Amino acid sequence: MRLPLSLREHNRNCSQEAGSAPTRPAANMRPMASRFTAPRFHSRSLSVAGWLLMLMLLVLEWLAGRVFARGAVVVAPRFTLVVFADRQMPDEEWAALALTLRQGLDTLAVETHFTVGGFEVIRGDSLEPGKQFDEVISVYLHGDCRLPPQPGPYTVQGVLGWVLSDHGQIRPFIHVDCARIGEMLGQHVFGMDKNSRNAVMAEAISRVILHEWLHIATQNPAHSRNGIAKGSFSVQDLVPDYPQIFSHGR
């Protein structure tokens, strides 16, 4: 079962328009008389040499670009995730989610080469009035975020998470459908104790949040074929260490 993680837009994103190519200043060259006899070159030899030089320069530039791209690591600024839930989360569920989010953000660079400059995770229902943040991203968890065992298999349709785009800018608001995640995972958790189910649900929610956070941090609505930036998630994508977690719960 795979479900998409979509980018809901107020307006469609457009590709950035590149600026016009810079114009080269023109200069008139006037011939000057010389007392020395200039050596003669064959135009064909000069043309071939010029093309070879240009080709060598292009190859060197391409190689330098590849080396830089491999070594580059993008660093995101410090930010705060404020998590709001439709239904109040018990303390043990919140603790599992907050811990998994911190661990997921710490290891995100391994998968995406996108390093977090610094962050904190705050529970929305305990937010102090008037508290100020350098950069804040609001996360809204919709539906019941518990993970009870559910009979299956059956088809689950719809999106797991989404962000909003306004005039090409991806806004700092993340939405996660906990109920739909629970429908996907519920048929796999029979025999698990409560703590194991909390850990599984926390990891799945965190994966969806991190996917959507990448859209915001990079301002890029595109998806990749693999990894956390995929356009749709299976059960294994929601819980990457799926075999280990589920085998321990049986």
206 touches 186 (CB < 8 A): no
Q: Which domain holds residue 180?
A: 75-249
Report the alpha-carbon distance of residue 203 to residue 93 in Å, rounded: 11
Residue 122 lies in a domain: yes
Domain count, the chain: 1
Give domain status of residue 24, yes or no: no
| Nearest one of 144, 138, 231, 139 to 180, comparing CA atoms | 144
Query: What's the burial of 201, exposed, middle or buried (CB within 10 Å: 0-12/13-18/19+)?
Result: buried
Angle at 231 (CA atoms; ends 226, 234), nearest 5 degrees: 75
Query: Do 97 and 202 meet the contact criterion of CB atoms below 8 Å apart?
Result: yes
Alpha-carbon gap, residue 247 to 157, rounded angstroms: 26
Cα–Cα nearest to 162, from 50, 1, 3, 5: 5
Q: What is the pTM of this model?
A: 0.69
3-state percent helix, strand, coil for the chain, nearest multiple of 5: 40, 20, 40
| Chain-centroid distance, C-alpha 103 | 16
Return left, alpha or beta for 191; rule: phi > 0 is left, psi -120 to 50 is alpha, else beta. left
In a domain, 57, yes or no: no
Judge whether 6 lies within some domain.
no
The residue with tokens 């993008």 is: 74
Contact 89, 97 (CB under 8 A): yes
In a domain, 128, yes or no: yes
Question: What is the distance of C-alpha 24 from the center of its chain?
Answer: 39
Q: Is residue 17 part of a domain?
A: no
Residue 219 lies in a domain: yes
**Does any domain span residue 125?**
yes
Domain CATH number, residue 129: 3.40.390
pLDDT, tens digit only, all 250 positions of the chain: 566 775 554 433 332 222 333 333 333 323 333 333 444 545 454 467 777 777 777 767 766 555 444 444 556 667 899 999 999 999 999 999 999 998 888 777 777 777 667 788 999 998 888 888 888 999 999 999 999 998 876 678 899 999 999 999 999 999 999 999 999 999 888 888 999 999 999 999 999 999 999 999 999 999 999 889 999 999 999 998 767 666 554 4
Q: How far apart are the first and last CA of the chain?
A: 21
Pick the closest to residue 177 from 224, 143, 130, 227 (CA basis): 143
Is-cis flag, bond preceding 31, omega within 30?
A: no
CA atoms within 13 A on the CB side of 222: 7
